[in-house]
Each structure stands twice: as C-alpha cells, then as structure tokens.
Amino acid sequence: MNALVVKPWLMAFRPKTLTAAVVPVLVGTTLAYRVGGQFSWWMSIWALLGALFIQIGTNLFNDALDFKKGADTAERVGPKRVTQSGLVAEKTVMAAGLASFGLAALCGIPLVIEGGWVIVVIGLLSLFFGYTYTGGPFPLAYRGLGDVFVILFFGWVAVGGVYFLHTGRVDVEVAVAGLQVGMLATVLIAINNLRDIEQDRRVNKQTLAVRFGPTFARAEIAALLIASFGLNAFWWVTGHWGAALLPLVAGPLAWSTLRGVQTTEPGPEYNEFLAKAGLIHLLFGFQLSLGLILL
C-alpha cells in the first residue's frame, strides 16, 4: 500500500496514545491471575482489540470534530492533525471513526457472552463517551470533564471490566490499580490541555487549564503523578512487594517530566513532556503487572 496513503492514517490513529488502551487490559489481566486466581488469554485478547478500536475511534472523532469546532487551526503547537492539515477530509475521518467503533462492537461479542449484561453496559457507555468526549451537544473535553472521564473509563472501568471478565467480581485491588492507571492516563490529558491553553481559550474550549489557569493545571499534574506513585504503599501493606517497588523504575522519568512542566511555559516543548508521560504510563503499568506476577 502506498506510504502516502498509510502515513496520514497512522497519524490520525495517534499510536503514542494507545498505551491508554493497552495498560488497563494488561493490569486487569495480571490482577485476575494474581489476585483472582483465574484468567483467559482469549478474553484478554478480545478485550485488548476492543479497547484499541475504541481508542482509535475516539482519536478519529477528536481529530475531525476539533477541526470542525475551530480548536485545531494552523496555529496548533501540538502534533499535526490530519483533518486540520487537509490530509484527509473531515467526513472521511468521521466515517473511519464509526467503522472503528463498529469493529470494537464486534470484538465485544465474545466478551458479552462471557460477562453478560455488565459488559454490555460497559461497552455501550465506552462507545457513547468515546464519541461525546469531543462530539454531541455536551462534549466532555469542552466542559472540563475530560479529566474525570479518563480516570473513570481508562482506569476503574477498563481495569475493573477486564478483571470482572475473568473472575466475575470486583475486589479492592482493582480499585487501587485502576485509580493508579487512570490518574497516569489523565496526566497526558492535563499536559495536553496546559500546552494548548491559549488556543483552547480562544475557541471557548473550557478545559480545567482554561477554567482555572496554568498554576492549577501544573498542580493537577503534580497531584496525579504523586498520588499514582504514592498509592504503591497499598501494595506494600498488602504484601505485594513487587507491585510496590518495581513501578518506582518510572520515578526518575516522572520527576523529569514534572520538573519540566513546572519550569517551562506552555508551547511546543510540551510535546516532549507528553511523550514522556505516555512512556511513564506504559512503564508503570508494565512494572506493576510484572511485580504482581513475580512477588
């Protein structure tokens, strides 16, 4: 296939954001094995594919709708967006988003057979909020609710849903791990919103950074990072020493990112911080999972 055709779609899929779909499935599966005492690789594979398609579809809708609403313009300081740059037509990107959600629904069929109505509810809500993150009459990202959505759906719901698929229940370990994963995913959103604060303000995109200012946004990022690592104390107290210690490998990178955000004015430099935040999320989730398995 022609590289000139493939490259814009890879840009639109935003591969660096897909850790938000991978990490919850990894952590939920590991918890099912270590805490719940049972798991199925097939269920995890279907869950991962479904999560990836939902994430890709959400990214595509965001690409097209942010351009339509005027949030993405030639003045954008973040990574290039395919609709804004004219590489792919808005209607085509929207159609691809719908197709991605359709594939997610197909991947959800074996999950529904296994998990029942609970998985139906989770799946439908995930699709609904994946679209209304940017679209609909009350877009979450434009009302300062994007951060809450990410903690809820990329943390508790995603980790808890995968765990429930394997075990048929939800335990306290899931609540803690889901909160850690969700908060680290929200760091990406918070950094993104701080970077785009001036452009978002001009188009009345009322993110938390726009509503409460850069000082609040920096404090939010710090609080999310500190709380995520601080909750490792739970794993230590409950005897999961590996889960408490191994994620600390990501600590220096988290400190470097936090220091950069606190000392740098919003601008193109934040793209580097955003990439680091994605790596922190992935590394933390992998090390947490590894720690649960080994110790």
How far, in Å, CA of 52 to CA of 103, rounded? 10
Per-residue pLDDT tens over the stretch 29-44: 999 999 888 888 899 9
Per-residue pLDDT, 60: 93
Q: Which residues make Cβ contacts (< 8 Å) with residue 148, sequence separation at least 6?
A: 140
pLDDT-derived band at 73, boundaries 50, 70, 90: low
Per-residue pLDDT tens over the stretch 76-134: 666 778 888 888 888 999 999 999 999 999 999 999 999 899 999 999 999 998 889 88
Phi, psi of 75 (to 5 degrees): -85, 0
Q: Across all residues in the chain, what is the average pLDDT?
A: 90
Residue located via tokens 């808005």: 90
Residue 276: pLDDT over 90: yes
Per-residue pLDDT, 112: 94
- Domain coordinates in residue numbering, the chain: 20-294
In the chain, what percentage of residues exceed pLDDT 90? Answer: 67
Residue 4: pLDDT over 60: no
Please compute the mean of the pLDDT values over residues 167-172 and round it to a whole number.
90
Per-residue pLDDT tens over the stretch 175-223: 999 999 999 999 999 999 999 998 889 888 899 999 999 999 999 999 9
Contact (Cβ atoms closer than 8 angstroms) between residue 150 and residue 141: no
Per-residue pLDDT, 288: 97
Per-residue pLDDT, 76: 62
Per-residue pLDDT, 11: 84
Per-residue pLDDT, 177: 97
Residue 1: pLDDT over 60: no
Per-residue pLDDT, 75: 63
Per-residue pLDDT, 264: 94
Per-residue pLDDT, 78: 64
Per-residue pLDDT, 71: 64
C-alpha 161: how far from its chain's center?
A: 15
Per-residue pLDDT, 103: 97
Residue 256: pLDDT over 70: yes
pLDDT-derived band at 5, boundaries 50, 70, 90: low
Please compute the mean of the pLDDT values over residues 143-148 and round it to a whole number.
90
Residue 235: pLDDT over 90: yes
How far, in Å, CA of 14 to CA of 271, rounded? 13
In degrees, rounded to 5, the angle at the alpha carbon of residue 135 between the alpha carbons of residues 72 and 137 is 120
Sign of CA dihedral 7, 11, 15, 21: negative
Residue located via tokens 């351009």: 67
How far, in Å, CA of 97 to CA of 58, rounded? 7
Exposure of 250 by Cβ count < 10 A (0-12 exposed, 13-18 middle, 19+ buried)? buried
Per-residue pLDDT, 295: 76
How far, in Å, CA of 185 to CA of 254, rounded? 13
pLDDT-derived band at 66, boundaries 50, 70, 90: confident
Q: For the chain, what is the HEC assignment?
A: CCHHHHHHHHHHHCHHHCHHHHHHHHHHHHHHHHHHCCCCHHHHHHHHHHHHHHHHHHHHHHHHHHHHHCCCCCCCCCCCCCCCCCCCCHHHHHHHHHHHHHHHHHHHHHHHHHHCHHHHHHHHHHHHHHHHCCCCCCCHHHCCCHHHHHHHHHHHHHHHHHHHHHHCCCCHHHHHHHHHHHHHHHHHHHHHHHHCHHHHHHCCCCCHHHHHCHHHHHHHHHHHHHHHHHCHHHHHHCCCHHHHHHHHHHHHHHHHHHHHHHHCCCCCCHHHHHHHHHHHHHHHHHHHHHHHHHC
How far, in Å, CA of 48 to CA of 71, rounded? 30
